[in-house]
A and B are shown apart, each in its own frame.
Chain A
Amino acid sequence: MGELIHLVVSGTATGAIYALAALGFTLLWQASNTVNFAQGEFVMLPAFMMLFFIGTLGTPLWLAFLLTCPVAMLLLGYTFKRVIVDPLIRHGVIPLVIATLGLAIGLKQLVKASVTAQAQPFDSAFPNGLLTMGTITVSYADVGTLLLAGMIVIGLQLFLNRTLTGRAMQAVAQNTEAAKVLGINVQRMVLYTFLINAVLAVVTALLITPTYLAKFDMGESIGLKAFYAAIIGGFNQARGALLGGVLVGVLENLTGAYVSAAYKEGVALLLFMIVIIVRPEGLLGKPEERKV
């Protein structure tokens, strides 16, 4: 029983990290119909930025994190939107998808060629050790991850629902034309979404890299989990990304422990296939109407 709870807790923690990446992915989709296939590389790059600040400038991890956030917002938020998304979005979804695929390869190989092809260790933001309560043991890292991810999700929800800017962003996501008519600066709201996505990617990097290690191809796995979490939960619902992420994380952990460690990576695919057969709009999603 204690083992099961431990597996569920650590699975939920991993799932919460997937959910953060998936959340950014859904926000981009809602605000600007951008399917970002470089989402995993958007997590990989901040991991190396933080390592750069720690290794070259000798800053502690928390300062490296704070320094990486604005750099990521500039590169992965603002520059990504202005240079790649803005010129391509007019042509529809597919050209942009291909451009982000190119971006994914380019970023991966750039890090491989200019930094290193080896996996780099990355310190955890939380202390080592286990927390024991009766028969239940959980690690500090899992608890810390859950708390941090939970705070970010709640904070983001409060921002989106309670502030004027947040509600304007939701209006843009729901109906761009109507939002424009109401005098909302659509481009600025879309830009905010890109900036939030960049910060979410940095947080994801901070939480996942201690287990994944910083490597040029670490984004492949995390990106794939983020897509699946988003689709399983419902592509057009932010809550869906959370549910999808946690579901994938927990089931992966249980499969790894009780069924087959070798096929742990296949769980997300299986869940995804079942969901698109039974409920194509995702568990919490609403069906999208087709425009003629």
Chain B
Amino acid sequence: MNRTRRAILVVALMVGALLPLFLKSYGIYLLTLLCVYLMPAFGLNLIVGYAGQMSIGQGAFYGIGAYIAALLMTKAGIPFWLVLPVAATSCFTIGLALGFPALRVQHHYLAFATLGFNVLVYLVMRNEEQLTGGTFGMSNIPRPSLFGYSFDGALPFFYLTYVSLLALGCVLWWLLRSPWGRAFAALRDNPIRAESTGVNITAYTLLAFAIGAACAGIGGAYLAALVNFIEPGQFGVSVSLTMLLAVIVGGSGRFFGPVLGSAIVILLPEWLRFLQDWYLTLFGFAVIVMMIFLPGGLLSFADRLKTRRRAP
């Protein structure tokens, strides 16, 4: 990372921290939602952009995290800080169990397995009424508090989410810079060569998938605390699809790709409300156009310009 990029990052982080002070409550809510959404999106980028696998089930893990948080906090009264590790480890374990059979076979099998898994999780949320409240969902999910300080207000909860997101981002950044993370790049660029240098493809990909799922679990817990009310529709297949496309549109395999992509699917529709259902229509067709002309995502645009200028 060179000096200009570091400067841009610092400025962006400052803007992110100061912006909510000038916003009304709905604006703060949207920014918090963006921060929450970025947790599963960063995890998905690990799976898609670094491990080179397709997952259409990130919404299911997001939902599992949210429902675990809602159940433990409302029915058992367990504090948020204990719920977080439970949500993360549950999603990690389920990710391992789901990914293991699917990753034994290469190609797009993980995509199909995660897609079906998402359908199944949705069915469980809808049908197990005694546990999940069925289509009525679960409400009155409390916000966390720490040493007697409550994060009930919009601004305190925003800063809690913002700091948590930064912490998660730092962990993932460190992970990708470690030798373990370097193996990923090798995997994605040339799996057969990586395997011949001693990288165990299946184990690495499986771990990446499970870590990505755990990120979604953490995000789900924050989502439950943010919106106070969850129902199955928030975690359907279309949610997973939109998230996958958000990561790809932003630029999968680039650390900050999900930030741009998530802003496009969370913030942009708010300004383009008059488009209603046409927004997603345009988004879907725009993805096709982008795959044809800019397959690396929007963040690859700058690189594209650079190489073009260098070429005679």
* Residues 268 to 292 of chain B near chain A (Cβ within 8 Å): 276-288, 291-292
Q: How far is the CB of A49 from chain B (nearest CB, A)?
A: 18
Q: How far is the CB of B276 from chain A (nearest CB, A)?
A: 7
* Residues 36 to 65 of chain A near chain B (Cβ within 8 Å): none
Establish whether residues A99 and B288, one from each chain, have CB atoms under 8 Å apart when the complex forms.
Answer: yes
Residue B123 is within 8 A (CB to CB) of chain A in the complex: yes
Q: Please pick, from A96, A98, A113, A263, the residue contacting B245 in the complex, using a CB distance under 8 A.
A: A98
- Expressed in whole angstroms, the Cα–Cα distance for A88 and B286 within the complex equals 15
Residue B185 is within 8 A (CB to CB) of chain A in the complex: no
- Contacting residues, chain A, for B245 (C-beta < 8 A): 98, 101-102, 105
Establish whether residues A272 and B113, one from each chain, have CB atoms under 8 Å apart when the complex forms.
Answer: yes
Q: How far is the CB of A143 from chain B (nearest CB, A)?
A: 30
- Contacting residues, chain B, for A107 (C-beta < 8 A): 284
* Residues 85 to 108 of chain A near chain B (Cβ within 8 Å): 87-88, 91, 93-99, 101-108
Residue A182 is within 8 A (CB to CB) of chain B in the complex: no
Establish whether residues A102 and B285, one from each chain, have CB atoms under 8 Å apart when the complex forms.
Answer: yes
Establish whether residues A272 and B292, one from each chain, have CB atoms under 8 Å apart when the complex forms.
Answer: no
Establish whether residues B277 and A109, one from each chain, have CB atoms under 8 Å apart when the complex forms.
Answer: yes
- Expressed in whole angstroms, the Cα–Cα distance for A91 and B283 within the complex equals 22
Establish whether residues A224 and B288, one from each chain, have CB atoms under 8 Å apart when the complex forms.
Answer: no
Establish whether residues A106 and B120, one from each chain, have CB atoms under 8 Å apart when the complex forms.
Answer: no
* Residues 253 to 312 of chain B near chain A (Cβ within 8 Å): 276-288, 291-292, 295
Name, among B101, B102, B117, B237, the residue most crowded by chain A CB atoms within 10 Å (CB to CB): B101
- Contacting residues, chain A, for B117 (C-beta < 8 A): 269
Residue of B nearest to A102 (CB): B287
Establish whether residues B108 and A35, one from each chain, have CB atoms under 8 Å apart when the complex forms.
Answer: yes
Residue B54 is within 8 A (CB to CB) of chain A in the complex: yes
Q: Please pick, from B104, B108, B112, the residue contacting A280 in the complex, using a CB distance under 8 A.
A: B104
Given the interface pairs A105-B245, A109-B277, A276-B104, the reply to whether A224 lies near B284 with Cβ below 8 Å is no
Establish whether residues A103 and B116, one from each chain, have CB atoms under 8 Å apart when the complex forms.
Answer: no
* Residues 82 to 104 of chain B near chain A (Cβ within 8 Å): 101-102, 104
Residue A110 is within 8 A (CB to CB) of chain B in the complex: yes
- Expressed in whole angstroms, the Cα–Cα distance for A184 and B252 within the complex equals 39
0/1 interface trace, chain A 67-86, chain B, CB 8 Å (1 if under) = 00000000000000000100
- Contacting residues, chain B, for A102 (C-beta < 8 A): 245, 283-288, 291
Establish whether residues B119 and A101, one from each chain, have CB atoms under 8 Å apart when the complex forms.
Answer: no
Residue B216 is within 8 A (CB to CB) of chain A in the complex: no
- Contacting residues, chain B, for A105 (C-beta < 8 A): 238, 241-242, 245, 280-281, 283-284, 287
By secondary structure, the A interface counts as: helix
Q: Please pick, from A109, A277, A280, the residue contacting B278 in the complex, using a CB distance under 8 A.
A: A109
Establish whether residues A265 and B123, one from each chain, have CB atoms under 8 Å apart when the complex forms.
Answer: yes
Residue A164 is within 8 A (CB to CB) of chain B in the complex: no
Establish whether residues A280 and B105, one from each chain, have CB atoms under 8 Å apart when the complex forms.
Answer: yes
Q: Please pick, from B108, B127, B286, B292, the residue contacting A262 in the complex, using a CB distance under 8 A.
A: B127
Establish whether residues A87 and B113, one from each chain, have CB atoms under 8 Å apart when the complex forms.
Answer: no
Residue B107 is within 8 A (CB to CB) of chain A in the complex: yes
- Total residues of chain A contacting the partner, CB 8 A: 43
Q: Please pick, from A88, A99, A109, A231, the residue contacting B281 in the complex, using a CB distance under 8 A.
A: A109
Residue of B nearest to A92 (CB): B295
Given the interface pairs A106-B285, A273-B101, A276-B104, the reply to whether A101 lies near B127 with Cβ below 8 Å is no
- Expressed in whole angstroms, the Cα–Cα distance for A251 and B117 within the complex equals 18
* Residues 270 to 287 of chain A near chain B (Cβ within 8 Å): 272-273, 276-277, 280
- Contacting residues, chain B, for A266 (C-beta < 8 A): 116, 119-120, 123
Establish whether residues A106 and B288, one from each chain, have CB atoms under 8 Å apart when the complex forms.
Answer: yes
- Expressed in whole angstroms, the Cα–Cα distance for A289 and B295 within the complex equals 28
Given the interface pairs A95-B295, A109-B280, A272-B112, the reply to whether A265 lies near B288 with Cβ below 8 Å is no
- Contacting residues, chain B, for A94 (C-beta < 8 A): 52, 54
0/1 interface trace, chain A 172-209, chain B, CB 8 Å (1 if under) = 00000000000000000000000000000000000000
- Contacting residues, chain A, for B285 (C-beta < 8 A): 102-103, 106
Residue A112 is within 8 A (CB to CB) of chain B in the complex: yes
- Expressed in whole angstroms, the Cα–Cα distance for A290 and B283 within the complex equals 35
Write 5 A-B pairs (CB below 8 A) sorted by A numbering.
A102-B286, A105-B280, A105-B287, A228-B112, A266-B123
Chain A residues engaging chain B, CB cutoff 8 angstroms: 35, 84, 87-88, 91, 93-99, 101-110, 112-113, 117, 220, 224, 227-228, 231, 262-263, 265-266, 268-269, 272-273, 276-277, 280, 290, 292
- Lowest 10 CB-CB distances: which A-B pairs, in order? A106-B284, A102-B287, A269-B116, A105-B284, A113-B277, A109-B281, A109-B280, A280-B105, A262-B127, A99-B291
Known pairs A101-B287, A109-B279. 16 more at Cβ < 8 A?
A93-B108, A95-B295, A98-B245, A98-B287, A102-B245, A105-B287, A106-B282, A106-B283, A106-B284, A220-B237, A224-B116, A228-B116, A263-B123, A268-B116, A269-B116, A273-B116
